[in-house]
């Protein structure tokens, strides 16, 4: 049993959520090759995931930044080297999409392991042409007010229907900064109805704070009026709703003009990015943890074991690796079913974790196998009390689903430097010692020594 690279752990509920979000999502691995494309991305790009998965990001996603003409992989490279793992919204053109060239907004978030190493990226993008057309429609309706009341009513009604059908919050204010219109999404996001918000100052009904500093952020609509230009808040803000809850939003505002191009107000659009932000965080966790137990998976185990061995070599310390295989687990799984078996594995993980120090690592290696890394210990013999505690914890009966279950464990122990100085050899030697513990009658441990030979066929 050797350490191998493992892809990001899957989660059917999480993938189902990805398939239902309106934003297009494309995920890559550490080599910038596409590993996942959701349904929205398929529709917007006109490419099936079968075509995109496995391709380099720049080939699968033909995005050109509107400001500098660079392809999407340049944005990923910039995010890799930045201290901020999430880029701001960028204007871009999607080439070769289902409708030809499409104006989009996109952002790039990077996934890192606990050492800060790059593990992949998440690109989220959306078609903004529809929203911009709606903003222009609302601006046109305000301008018409000065010329023709009847035409204004029809145009405003059309604009309101349009704005109520999109997924972004849209708010318009007059020249004094007082609310004149909220669409349905703005009502839901802020907690204020159109009737309640009308005539109030925008900052009173749409209160924003900086996500990092928690300081109040003035809504950009008044800046759009004063500066007579479109204003965007580059960093993600938190909208504090009327009931005190909050959501992550991206906000932009544009001035509204009369027929003589005088500024008479502003329209502001806010996009809820809470789901996208949560998805990035969850994807990063899923890439490094076992889906059933929440323990570090093989990828994170290899990283932590490598770090522990490097420290041990620098400080003349010792790293002990305990390879644990459950005894009599298969009959439980076969007779009582996988659901009971899964609950038992979770219970074992919790008990064993309670036997360890905060600096130790417990990983589910696969099936009913677990690996414990004891880092920064003074002597190899320091691993033995831990092995005794783990055996006692696993031997105690488990009450699972109305069943009293009695299992045990066989443990193989290998310690650096005499048990091996590299991760692969240390794990291989602990694995061999574990099989000898099983052959000796199970429910015990065996310490690796060079005279141990490989055994096979013992489960």
Dump pLDDT digits (tens) for 251-269. Answer: 888 999 988 888 999 988 8
Residue 26, Cβ density class (10 Å: 0-12 exposed, 13-18 middle, ≥19 buried): buried
pLDDT at 243: 87
Known catalytic membership, residue 388: no
Of the two residues 160 and 101, the one the predictor is more confident about is: 101
Residues 6+ apart with CB under 8 A from 50: none
DSSP secondary structure letter of residue 293: T
Residue 407 has pLDDT above 60, yes or no: yes
Residue 368 has pLDDT above 90, yes or no: yes
> Is the pLDDT at 148 greater than 80, yes or no?
no
Judged against a pLDDT cut of 60, whether residue 248 lies above it is answered with yes
Does 8 score more than 50 pLDDT? no
Q: Which pLDDT score is estimated for 151?
A: 57
User: What are 235's two structure tokens?
Assistant: 């960093």
- Name the band, by pLDDT with cuts 50, 70 and 90, for residue 320: very high
> Cα separation of 195 and 75, whole Å?
43
Instruction: Tell me whether domains 130-274 and 289-447 share a fold.
Output: no
| Angstrom distances, CA of residue 431 to CA of 384, 421, 455, 459 | 16, 15, 10, 12
How confident is the model over 422-448, as a mean pLDDT? 92
The whole-angstrom separation of Cα 25 and Cα 336 is 40
In terms of CATH, what superfamily is 130-274? PAS domain (3.30.450.20)
Q: How far apart are CA 194 and CA 160, in angstroms?
A: 12
And the tokens for 123?
């690109």
Angle at 165 between CA 162 and CA 169, to 5 degrees: 95
Greatest mean pLDDT among 30-34, 54-58, 322-326 lies in: 322-326
Could you please report the per-residue DSSP string of 334-361? HHH-HHHHHHHHHHHHHHHHTTS-TTSE
Domain locations along the chain: 12-127, 130-274, 289-447
453 three-class SS: coil
Q: What is the predicted pLDDT for the residue at 459? A: 54
- Whether the model clears a pTM of 0.75, i.e. scores above it, the answer is no
The single residue listed with the structure tokens 């305990």 is 322
- In the prediction, which pLDDT does 322 show? 96
As a CATH number, domain 12-127 is 3.30.450.20
Give the separation between CA 183 and CA 271, rounded to whole angstroms.
13
Q: Which residues contact 363 (CB under 8 A, 6 or more apart)?
A: 290, 295, 296, 297, 298, 300, 301, 370, 371, 372, 373
- For the chain, the average pLDDT equals 83
| Highest-scoring range by mean pLDDT, 19-28, 65-74, 159-168 | 19-28
Token code pair at residue 319: 């790293």
Q: Give me the catalytic one of 325, 360, 368, 431.
A: 368
Closest CA to 204 of 242, 246, 248, 245: 242
Average pLDDT over residues 102-125: 85
| Spatial CA neighbour of 36 closest among 21, 428, 232 | 21
CATH number for the domain formed by residue range(s) 289-447: 3.30.70.270
**pLDDT tens readout for residues 437-456:** 999 888 899 999 888 767 66
CA dist 351 and 226 (Å) reads 63
Which helix (H) or strand (E) is 154 found in, with range?
helix 149-164
Of 37-46, 118-127, 216-225, 342-351, give the range with the top mean pLDDT: 342-351
């Amino acid at each position: 049993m050797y350490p191998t690279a493992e892809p990001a752990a899957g989660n059917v509920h999480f993938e189902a959520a990805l398939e239902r979000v309106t934003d297009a999502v494309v995920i890559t691995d550490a080599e910038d090759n596409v590993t996942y494309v959701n349904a929205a991305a398929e529709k917007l790009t006109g490419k099936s995931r079968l075509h995109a998965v496995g391709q380099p990001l720049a080939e699968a996603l033909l995005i050109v930044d509107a400001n500098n003409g660079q392809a999407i992989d340049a944005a990923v490279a910039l995010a890799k080297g930045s201290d901020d793992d999430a880029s701001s919204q960028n204007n871009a053109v999607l080439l070769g999409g289902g409708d030809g060239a499409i104006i989009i907004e996109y952002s790039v978030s990077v996934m890192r392991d606990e050492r800060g190493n790059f593990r992949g990226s998440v690109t989220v993008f959306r078609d903004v042409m529809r929203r911009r057309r709606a903003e222009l429609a609302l601006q046109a309706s305000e301008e018409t007010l000065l010329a023709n009341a009847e035409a204004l009513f029809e145009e405003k009604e059309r604009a309101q229907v349009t704005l109520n059908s999109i997924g972004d919050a849209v708010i318009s204010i007059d020249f004094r900064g007082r609310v004149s219109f909220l669409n349905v999404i703005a009502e839901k996001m802020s907690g204020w109805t159109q009737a309640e918000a009308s005539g109030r100052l925008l900052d009173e009904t749409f209160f924003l704070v900086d996500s990092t500093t928690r300081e109040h952020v003035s809504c950009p609509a008044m800046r759009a009026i004063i500066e007579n230009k479109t204003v965007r808040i580059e960093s993600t803000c938190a909208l504090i709703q009327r009931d005190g809850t909050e959501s992550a939003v991206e906000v932009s505002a544009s001035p509204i003009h009369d027929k003589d191009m005088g500024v008479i107000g502003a329209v502001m659009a806010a996009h809820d990015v809470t789901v996208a932000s949560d998805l990035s965080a969850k994807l990063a966790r899923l890439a490094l943890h076992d889906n059933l137990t929440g323990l570090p998976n093989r990828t994170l185990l290899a990283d932590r074991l490598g770090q522990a061995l490097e420290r041990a070599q620098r400080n003349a310390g010792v790293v002990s690796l305990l390879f644990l295989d459950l005894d009599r687990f298969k009959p439980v799984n076969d007779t009582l079913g996988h659901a009971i078996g899964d609950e038992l594995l979770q219970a074992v993980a919790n008990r064993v974790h309670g036997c360890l120090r905060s600096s130790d690592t417990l990983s589910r290696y696969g099936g009913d196998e677990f690996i414990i890394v004891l880092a920064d210990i003074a002597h190899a013999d320091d691993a033995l009390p831990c092995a005794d505690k783990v055996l006692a914890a696993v031997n105690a009966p488990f009450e699972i689903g109305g069943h009293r279950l009695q299992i045990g464990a066989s443990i193989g122990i290998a310690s650096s430097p005499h048990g091996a100085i590299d991760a692969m050899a240390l794990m291989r030697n602990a694995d061999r010692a574990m099989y000898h513990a099983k052959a000796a009658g199970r429910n015990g441990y065996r310490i690796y020594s060079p005279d141990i030979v490989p055994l096979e066929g013992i489960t």
